[in-house]
């Protein structure tokens, strides 16, 4: 318990630091962005200088994203609980993401168990959780492939002491038929800043892990190199 308290303490200090740092970085970054946008307007459309300014703007966005993700990971925001319709949250994410794959050969499938009731959860955080997983799946299939999201009810014995009472959970699979993940890499996935992408931050899954833990749930990954990957999120049905 002492360890847990010390850890929580350390995390909240880290959260305060991260929040302060994020603020300090985002303000000057906004200044750089504004100035670069003005500069872009001054330069001829087809010029190397303008291309360079565009690169500056893209990189500014990248720093912005890292700061925001770091903030999401480090800040000890409490849960804002309400009754959340999981299927609506996920359905909305898929509808939006589908648009960004227009012209590509990416198929989206959803298989929801209609008997699953709303769960007590933080809707904003659940959106972030499933958006991160769906985005990873989209990045995995790249130009062509299939992304499937399914929900089902499972019984879990490991969550209860002595197993005398089983708890019901909802399990959501986010599966893709992308390249998969080599077994030796599976353990590192949830570590902050672990990424294999040139433009990745490596914070997405760490954030997912945090959100799931805060909801007293679990997240696991199963992957078959060459066949695909399935992330499964398990959340308590009755809290």
| Binding residues for ligand ADP (CB under 6 A) | 132, 136-137, 140, 176, 178, 181, 189, 194-197, 200-206, 229
110 contacts 98 by C-beta, under 8 angstroms: no
Considering the complex, state which of residue 192 and residue 204 has its C-beta at the smaller distance from Mg ion: 204
Q: What does the alpha-carbon distance between residue 47 and residue 104 come to, in Å, rounded to a whole number?
A: 30
Q: What does the alpha-carbon distance between residue 166 and residue 110 come to, in Å, rounded to a whole number?
A: 28
- 12 interface partner picked from Mg ion, ligand ADP, none, CB below 5 to 8 A per type: none
121 contacts 212 by C-beta, under 8 angstroms: no
Tokens of 44: 């001829």
- 85 interface partner picked from ligand ADP, Mg ion, none, CB below 5 to 8 A per type: none
Q: How far is the CB of 181 from ligand ADP (least distance, A)?
A: 5
Considering the complex, state which of residue 13 and residue 196 has its C-beta at the smaller distance from ligand ADP: 196
| Residue that is written with structure tokens 């989209």 in the block | 138
Contacts of 190 (CB under 8 A, 6+ apart): 205, 206, 208, 209, 219
Choose among 93, 96, 219: nearest CA to 149: 93
Q: How far is the CB of 84 from ligand ADP (least distance, A)?
A: 22
- 202 interface partner picked from ligand ADP, Mg ion, none, CB below 5 to 8 A per type: ligand ADP
Q: How far is the CB of 32 from ligand ADP (least distance, A)?
A: 23
Q: How far is the CB of 204 from Mg ion (least distance, A)?
A: 3
Considering the complex, state which of residue 128 and residue 151 has its C-beta at the smaller distance from Mg ion: 128
Q: Which residue is nearest to Mg ion (CB)?
A: 204
Considering the complex, state which of residue 204 and residue 236 has its C-beta at the smaller distance from Mg ion: 204
Considering the complex, state which of residue 53 and residue 140 has its C-beta at the smaller distance from ligand ADP: 140
Tokens of 39: 């500069």
Q: What does the alpha-carbon distance between residue 93 and residue 104 come to, in Å, rounded to a whole number?
A: 18
- CB-count exposure of residue 39 (10 Å: 0-12, 13-18, 19+): middle
Q: What does the alpha-carbon distance between residue 26 and residue 60 come to, in Å, rounded to a whole number?
A: 10
- 201 interface partner picked from ligand ADP, Mg ion, none, CB below 5 to 8 A per type: ligand ADP
Q: How far is the CB of 10 from ligand ADP (least distance, A)?
A: 22
Q: How far is the CB of 216 from ligand ADP (least distance, A)?
A: 22
Positions in the binding site for Mg ion (CB under 5 A): 136, 204
Considering the complex, state which of residue 112 and residue 194 has its C-beta at the smaller distance from ligand ADP: 194
Q: What does the alpha-carbon distance between residue 180 and residue 188 come to, in Å, rounded to a whole number?
A: 14
């Amino acid at each position: 318990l002492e360890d847990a308290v010390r850890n929580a303490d350390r995390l909240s200090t880290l959260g305060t630091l991260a929040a302060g740092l994020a603020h300090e970085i985002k303000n000057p970054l906004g200044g750089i962005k504004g100035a670069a946008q003005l500069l872009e307007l001054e330069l001829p459309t087809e010029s190397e200088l303008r291309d360079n300014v565009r690169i500056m703007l893209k990189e500014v966005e990248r720093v912005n994203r890292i700061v925001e993700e770091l903030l999401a990971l480090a800040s000890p925001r409490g849960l804002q609980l309400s009754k959340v319709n999981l299927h609506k949250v996920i359905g909305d994410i898929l509808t939006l993401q589908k648009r960004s794959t227009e012209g590509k050969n990416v198929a989206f499938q959803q298989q929801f168990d209609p008997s699953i009731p709303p769960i007590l959860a933080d809707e904003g955080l659940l959106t972030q959780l499933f958006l991160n997983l769906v985005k990873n799946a989209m990045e995995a299939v790249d130009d062509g492939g299939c992304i499937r999201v399914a929900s089902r009810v499972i019984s879990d014995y490991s969550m209860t002491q002595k197993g005398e009472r089983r708890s019901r959970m909802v399990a959501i699979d986010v599966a893709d038929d992308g390249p998969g993940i080599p077994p030796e890499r599976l353990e590192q996935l949830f570590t902050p800043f672990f990424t294999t992408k040139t433009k990745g931050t490596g914070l997405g899954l760490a954030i997912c892990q945090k959100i799931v833990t805060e909801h007293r749930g679990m997240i696991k990954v199963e992957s078959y190199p060459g066949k695909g990957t399935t992330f499964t999120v398990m959340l308590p049905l009755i809290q």
